[in-house]
Structure 1
């Protein structure tokens, strides 16, 4: 590879923890390539989290842009989707970021003139940064945080829409992938319309067009995990996809200098008792009804399994009834640290891709319960494609809908104690080991080197 000594890479993550964290891990990987300078763009409210997350051993430039004020639909002071009162405000929030374009370009132009900028790696939701990159003659790479399976299937079905005439729970196969069986309910409702329209669709189309004009896609996956989908994408579509993950493996182990948090003390105690723990978390943006939360609580209680449940809402009486066996946490936790804990043997998850990768890398099987966006497709991949987990379905047998406590209880026991759970545990261990190999000098490490070389050489011959 050519020398990195003059390379300057700009990173611009979308304002959401699920997007910031993997891009910070990508930053760590870039900084391991000696001589690369990295500048991260963010907003004032998101800057402290970024500064605290990155090691002081790696000097890094952080540029704080002003988040647009007085956006009618948005509560004042909200600069991250994690703090939105409802995900229905996602599109107004994402569109508001376009108002940062002139400030972004001004700083970017100054950086380019003073030290040069080799390339921009920006979140896919920042489609407008493609215009900025073109204006200043800088290559742009895109990071979405999705896998090749989801990207490929969604693109194929956007072109072949024959499944739209089916009922919501009728099974169909994906053209080119006869083993993949889906239903319309695996997609958010607006994507199942014959003529999809509305602000969300307009936003998706806008960022898709911007992505198609970029120089490449960084994918938080590894080629051995989903070779057929990576090959198909790079054969049929553009821009080229580059697997550089799992990025969570770049996250350093946590060191508790002061007192351990309660959730680590709980896991340590269960480990000392030789008891397995189910970790339960549905991400920071899932909107779950009170009725559904009660059914989850009852199912966990009746399963008699030890559990650690991270949830914002209070579930009346649960903590008292499961004291000593279950712990309910309402504060922020370090999910990677939890999944790496020796006592954690299962993960009831919404199947966001970060969470899925973190669980696989920790060799923890997944009880898949998707909530929104591409999560149902991730759940299909987890249960059907990879076999590293089991799938929760609604009372009516659909992949969407209300799930009763008896289903929760049954599936928790099966994951933690049943034969299907044992098989998933075996498979996830094998795939977790392959993930580590990919990152430790294997396919993903080499791919990132090649990507840096090819993309930066356009700017720095």
Structure 2
């Protein structure tokens, strides 16, 4: 790395847990490279962030979140607390009202700011960085495969000739990748997508991406090299793969006092492999679908640890826990997902395929049972099952990728992944191999390590490529 002194990176995560956590890991990574780090957030999000970074000297600045937003409940400063999907857009658009406070703070920071790293949903920060004359890097919370497929769809419209939402078509420049319109989050799979969210992404996401000096991607080059190379040659701006960022997390304490960890230890001692089940914080699961998942898990006769959101507990049959007692544990407390995935007794992950969960599972070498619900999760499920072979796909009824999943399908795929047969052995072996590659990428001299060095030099004006 170059001989410059005190580079200063400003980090501004979008106000959502899934978007914030990787950037907290990035803050740690940058501090280890002697970069000064200042992180921006709001008063409502600050306590959790301060607790996460309390063992570091990352500076945290709170700026006020706008009040009285139409469509957003009073006092909500994080999307995890939005009760309906329709609140997301007014919430995201309202963040622009933070711009003046953000820019005032940027002007006063010492040492002077070298670079702004901000979430792609905070599109207006690109203008703020431009105003003070520093580079801005957008943070992409998705992988390279997903981002590339969405860009190809929008630019080249390879789906224009298909009649059905379930009819496969080859992707431009990747003819071996066959997707359907249903693989894309509505309305983006439409021939001419329109609507408020499409407008938001076009006006803000893509314009600010074009104004940015690069993108930080929470992935590593070896796993997605074709898509990284394609993006950097044909799409842009440059994608810097410096992950898996979860491998920069604070080392986990050795204490095993937590109930669910004790339970995992007991299962491991008895040589009973455990399936971890979690669908993240954002996915909305219908009561009917929830019951099918519960029935499938119960009938599978596999040991499982199910992380449940408090509102989902209402859907669970009162007798469910007693029926699976000793084999299944329903956790109603906050759980450390990384620690669970790294537990030697956890041999599978039934997941919604949010990118954080995918990359954390791959880093831990744990195979995935993909059951996507929203956003780019269907694309991530394709990636898991078809691109890198680290898992299996749970499919809805009726030959579609989007729809209701039956209990029988859940039961069958859980047994297939956890039963120790040929398929299970293969995906477990592949997951373990990619887990090793992920760790190698983050170690000194690895691809992600080198990319971060080049990125820091580049933002300090020393990148010449």
Scaled by the length of structure 2, the TM-score of the pair is 0.95
1:169-211 CA-to-partner distances (Å, cap 9, x unmatched) read 1111111112211111101221123332221011111211111
Partner of 1:346: 348
1:332 corresponds to 2:328 = no
Q: Give the match for residue 244 of structure 1.
A: 242
Residue by residue, what CA displacement relative to the aligned partner does 1:318-372 show, whole Å, maximum 9, x if unpaired? Answer: 1110011000112221100000001100000011111001001111000000110
Q: Distance in 1 between matches of 2:238 and 2:257?
A: 44
Structure 1 gap segments, 5+ residues each? none
Aligned to 2:455: 451
Q: How many angstroms does 1:3 deviate by?
A: 2.7
Post-superposition shift, 1:55?
4.3
| Deviation per residue, 1:231-282 (Å, 9 max, x gap) | 111111121111100101111332165x722211111111111100000001
| Structure 2 residue 432 is the aligned partner of structure 1 residue 429 | yes
Matches within 5 A, 1:141-152: 141-152=137-148
Tell me the CA shift for residue 159 of structure 1: 1.3
1:118 maps to which of 87, 93, 114: 114
Asked if residue 282 in structure 1 is aligned to residue 279 in structure 2, the reply is: yes
Aligned to 2:14: 14
| Distance in 2 of aligned mates of 1:425 and 1:24 | 29
3-state SS in 2 of match to 1:327: strand
1:44-443 equivalent positions in 2, closer than 5 A: 44-56=43-55, 58-111=56-109, 114-166=110-162, 167-205=164-202, 206-255=204-253, 260-312=257-309, 313-314=312-313, 315-316=316-317, 317-417=319-419, 418-441=421-444, 442-443=446-447
Matched-pair contact (CA < 8 Å) for 2:217–2:239: yes
C-alpha deviation, 1:60, in angstroms: 1.7
Whole-angstrom distance in 1 between the partners of 2:279 and 2:405: 15
SS at match of 1:347: strand
Post-superposition offset of 1:109: 1.2
Cα separation, 2, equivalents of 1:300 and 1:453: 50
Q: Which residue of 1 aligns with 2:5?
A: 5
Q: Check whether the contact 2:27–2:58 (CA below 8 A) recurs between aligned residues.
A: no
- TM (normalized to structure 1)? 0.96
CA deviations on 1:41-66 (whole Å, 9 max, x unpaired) are 0011111111111142x212100011
| Runs (5+) with no aligned partner, structure 2 | none
Once the two structures are TM-superposed, the CA of residue 137 in structure 1 deviates from its matched residue by: 0.6
Contact 2:2 2:462 in 1 (8 A): no
Please give the secondary structure, in 2, of the residue aligned with 1:181: strand
SS in 1 for 2:349: strand
For 1:27 and 1:352, locate their aligned partners in 2 and report how far apart those are by CA, in whole Å.
21
Using the alignment, how far apart are the partners of 1:310 and 1:133 within structure 2?
39
1:4 CA drift (Å)? 4.9
Whole-Å separation in 2 of the counterparts to 1:83 and 1:278: 28
C-alpha separation in 1, matches of 2:78 and 2:4? 33
The 1-side partners of 2:263 and 2:320 are apart by 16
* RMSD value, Cα: 1.3
Q: Deviations for 1:365-406, whole angstroms, at most 9, x for unmatched residues?
A: 000001101110011010001010000110112111111111
Indicate if the aligned counterparts of 1:4 and 1:33 stay in contact, CA closer than 8 A: no
CA distance in 1 between partners of 2:143 and 2:185 (Å): 18
In the TM superposition, residue 458 of structure 1 has moved relative to its aligned partner by 6.6
SS of 1:190 mapped into structure 2: coil
Structure 2: distance between partners of 1:199 and 1:102: 25
State how far apart, in whole Å, the 2-side matches of 1:110 and 1:290 are: 51
